[in-house]
Amino acid sequence: MAADARGAETDVDITIDADRQVIESSKVERAVNDAPASQVAEVEEQTATVIDLRTAEPIIEIERLAPPSGLMVASRASLAVKRAVDIVVASIALVLLAPLFLTVAIAIKVTSRGPVFFKQPRVGKNGEMFNFVKFRSMRTSAVYEKPQLKAMNEKDGPIFKIRNDPRITKVGKVIRKLSIDELPQLAHVLSGKMSLVGPRPHLPEEVSAYDARAHRRLDVKPGITCIWQVSGRADLDFETWIDLDLEYIDTWSLGLDAKLLVQTVPAVLTGKGAY
């Protein structure tokens, strides 16, 4: 491009560049108009064209990054409503379920030696660690027995699941089947570490095996239930689990949360995929 003695663009150069951009815009418009609608939509969504303004010729096609959506771009008002629902529902549930909590605690204490609650570190939003609490459903030696049972693992990826885990106690089988062992997590919802609906929090060693895609789960607050909970739970493979969690993040709405909470009730009562 020519320039005057002071290095600035001349009026002629500016006019030429402007004409070239108009020409290129016209070429692109004609190409789009001549292409099938479905093809145009797909191309526009997935790629972008870099144009050389000197020759008005395309240089390279680059992949267009999808903009954030769903929970990642939710308004403050929507997030405030989600948090309010968490507090109200968790508070009411903890009060109403107090007799059940007491009954389960007594059953665990009477039938097996060890504490009523099981605590272990889990990874929350943005990688923050917190002590995850459940009703104890296994022998107290379960953590130490896990290495000897790795060959029995029925899940792919970093998840460890055995349908008939020999470490589970008699009471544990019942409370796991009905997801009663998860109810103490309502306290985490009340404290703000978790939400009623969101991706389940995983163990540190499981998170360390995540790829970049799976790490997106950590962008949001973990939850007690999510799409996976009403779609097969432990019967799903790890990649499907991740797919459903990312679907939740990308398509989130208050309506979706309400729908999943309602669908969780029959999913829990049937016990499908709970082990």
One DSSP character per residue, 130-173 reads EEEEEE--B-TTHHHHGGGGGGG---STT----TT-TTB-HHHH
Residue 143 has what pLDDT? 87
What residues are paired with 134 via a beta bridge?
Answer: 118
- Going by C-alpha positions, the residue among 159, 119, 158, 123 that lies closest to residue 142 is 119
**3-state secondary structure (DSSP) of residue 236:** coil
Name the residue with tokens 């953590």.
Answer: 143
Q: In terms of domains, do 42 and 83 share one?
A: no
CA distance 72 to 49: 27
Output DSSP code: residue 8: P
Q: In terms of domains, do 59 and 123 share one?
A: no
Residues 6 or more apart whose Cβ sits within 8 Å of residue 24:
51, 53, 56
Tell whether 3 is covered by a domain.
Answer: no
Tell whether 116 is covered by a domain.
Answer: yes
> pLDDT confidence of 238, banded at 50, 70, 90?
confident
Tell whether 179 is covered by a domain.
Answer: yes
Pairwise pLDDT comparison (228 vs 258), residue with the higher score: 258
Asked which of 63, 82, 106 is the last residue of a domain, the reply is 63
Asked which of 28, 47, 63 is the last residue of a domain, the reply is 63
What residues are paired with 61 via a beta bridge?
Answer: 49
Tell whether 6 is covered by a domain.
Answer: no
Residue 108, token pair as written in the block: 């665990």
Residue 112, token pair as written in the block: 């097996």
Tell whether 142 is covered by a domain.
Answer: yes
- Long-range contact pairs involving 144-151 (C-beta distance under 8 Å, separation at least 24): none
Tell whether 5 is covered by a domain.
Answer: no
What is the reported pTM?
A: 0.72
pLDDT tens digit string along 88-106? 999 999 999 999 999 999 9
pLDDT, mean of residues 182-203: 96
* Residue range(s) defining the domain that contains residue 220: 70-270
Domains in the chain: how many in total? 2
Q: In terms of domains, do 223 and 126 share one?
A: yes
Q: In terms of domains, do 168 and 136 share one?
A: yes
Q: In terms of domains, do 166 and 266 share one?
A: yes
CA distance 173 to 112: 13
Q: In terms of domains, do 207 and 112 share one?
A: yes
Q: In terms of domains, do 192 and 260 share one?
A: yes
Residue 198, token pair as written in the block: 């969101």
Q: In terms of domains, do 216 and 235 share one?
A: yes
Q: In terms of domains, do 35 and 125 share one?
A: no
pLDDT tens digit string along 20-59? 443 344 443 444 344 444 343 443 444 555 555 566 565 5
pLDDT tens digit string along 140-182? 999 889 888 988 887 777 888 888 899 999 999 999 999 999 9
Question: What is the average pLDDT score of the chain?
Answer: 81
Are the beta carbons of 236 and 273 closer than 8 angstroms? yes
Q: In terms of domains, do 125 and 182 share one?
A: yes
Q: In terms of domains, do 113 and 23 share one?
A: no
Tell whether 2 is covered by a domain.
Answer: no
Q: In terms of domains, do 266 and 135 share one?
A: yes
Tell whether 252 is covered by a domain.
Answer: yes
pLDDT, mean of residues 187-210: 95
CA distance 200 to 177: 17
